[in-house]
Structure 1
Amino acid sequence: MGLEIERKFRVTGTDFLAGRHGERLVQGYLSHDQHATVRVRIQGDRAWLTLKGETRGARRSEFEYPIPVDDALAILAEMCAEGVIDKTRYRLPAGDGLEWEVDVFHGDNDGLVVAEIELSHEDQPIPRPDWLAEEVTDDPRYYNSALSRRPYGRW
């Protein structure tokens, strides 16, 4: 079984991203149920269908399967009517084999910048760079599935 242990934080400013390469991600949701979300994502010339279980603390089950990009485009157009997430992701080394994923949102979520870090266990210590603000791991408003229905620009 796939398992994701992830902590999420707001980010202050984006100056630290200057000169770094990010990758555009577009994703939509076929299911927003609190017990399971189903997402389609396109990143560059690749696409995935992802199933995520209910979040418990910083942990939840996750299963991800590659799909053809043309299928992902059709799913986004035909089945993701509630809103599509558009963001640029930057990957930054965090030390000890960890990596920050910093998402700069666009469109209706413009102005929101969030950093996530995947861990091997929930109590794993993490580095705290200066640009990291408050933790939002337990705030469901920051789930991408929630942002697709109630974007940050409408809070």
Structure 2
Amino acid sequence: MSDGGYGDFEFERRFVVADLPTSLLDEPAPALIVQSYFLAADGYALRIRVQAGSALAELGPSTDPLDVLDAHEFDFCALTAKGPAAGGTRYEAERELDVATGVEMVRRGGQRIVKNRYALWVGADGWVVDVFGGANHPLVVAECERAGPVTDLEIPTFCTSEVTDDPRFSNDALARTPYSLWRGTFADELAERGPRFLGDFGNDRRSTD
């Protein structure tokens, strides 16, 4: 949720990652996240997220989010309502929940995803890199979020192509229509058109690292 005078709006840009940068392995252990979407339609979403800080789970294509839920202790839970995204901006209102209650709600319903989330700094910006398991394996998405519009961004070299404006890559869409169902289609699109980076967010530059 933004705290930069924009109320309950988030500002982010998202990129697919072809190869997980090895530098992330030197960072502290990622957060383990299981999310359940009780509503995911037309850009609107109602999500419960449970998270375990500094926990690394082995995630593969056969990983069941419910098995992950049973195997780990979680220390944070939140309920989030989201509106449709437009131009890197999205309404998001979040409220923290009792963890035990949230875990049981995730266990009982919704469309689930599971991922390890790494955090790192690139220039002046904090980034998260989500490594998905289950039906969304082997998708890796990098995201930069700010308290205001994400302009004049230093884009890390590990970012293959921008998907800020591609609704297929939102987490609620991935819960409903997992990456494994259209991975080949996206690979064909990328091969045909090449990488793309949006040009309406100021003066972006590629990192030299």
TM-score (norm 2): 0.69
* d(CA) in 1 for partners of 2:166, 2:79: 24
- Structure 1 gaps of 5+ residues are none
Which residue number corresponds to residue 52 of structure 1?
82
* d(CA) in 1 for partners of 2:155, 2:43: 31
Shift of 1:131: 0.5
Which residue number corresponds to residue 33 of structure 2?
25
After superposition, what is the alpha-carbon deviation per residue over 1:6-58, rounded to whole angstroms, capped at 9, x for unaligned?
10000121123222221100001011132521100001111000111121110
Q: Secondary structure at the match of 1:130?
A: coil
Q: Give runs of aligned pairs for residues 125-144 of structure 1, distance below 5 A.
A: 125-144=152-171
* d(CA) in 2 for partners of 1:41, 1:84: 10
* d(CA) in 1 for partners of 2:101, 2:15: 32
How many residues of Structure 1 are paired with residues of Structure 2 in the alignment?
152
Counterpart check, 1:146 vs 2:173: yes
Please identify which structure carries the higher helix content.
2
Which protein is bigger by CA-based radius of gyration?
Answer: 2
After superposition, what is the alpha-carbon deviation per residue over 1:121-146, rounded to whole angstroms, capped at 9, x for unaligned?
33521112111110001111101111
Please identify which structure carries the higher strand content.
1
* Bigger RCO (CA 8 Å, 6+ sep): 1
Which residue number corresponds to residue 88 of structure 1?
116
Counterpart check, 1:16 vs 2:23: yes
Percent identical across equivalent pairs?
37
Contact (CA 8 Å) 2:16, 2:141: kept in 1 or not? yes
Shift of 1:120: 3.5
Q: Which moved more, 1:46-55 or 1:32-41?
A: 32-41
After superposition, what is the alpha-carbon deviation per residue over 1:77-119, rounded to whole angstroms, capped at 9, x for unaligned?
2221xx31100000111222x2111000011111100001012
- Structure 2 gaps of 5+ residues are 1-6, 53-74, 183-209
Q: Match for 2:166: what amino acid?
A: D
Q: Match for 1:86: what amino acid?
A: V
Which residue number corresponds to residue 103 of structure 1?
130
Counterpart check, 1:69 vs 2:109: no
Q: Secondary structure at the match of 1:70?
A: helix
Residue number among 3, 6, 13 corresponding to 2:12 in the alignment: 6
Which residue number corresponds to residue 51 of structure 2?
43
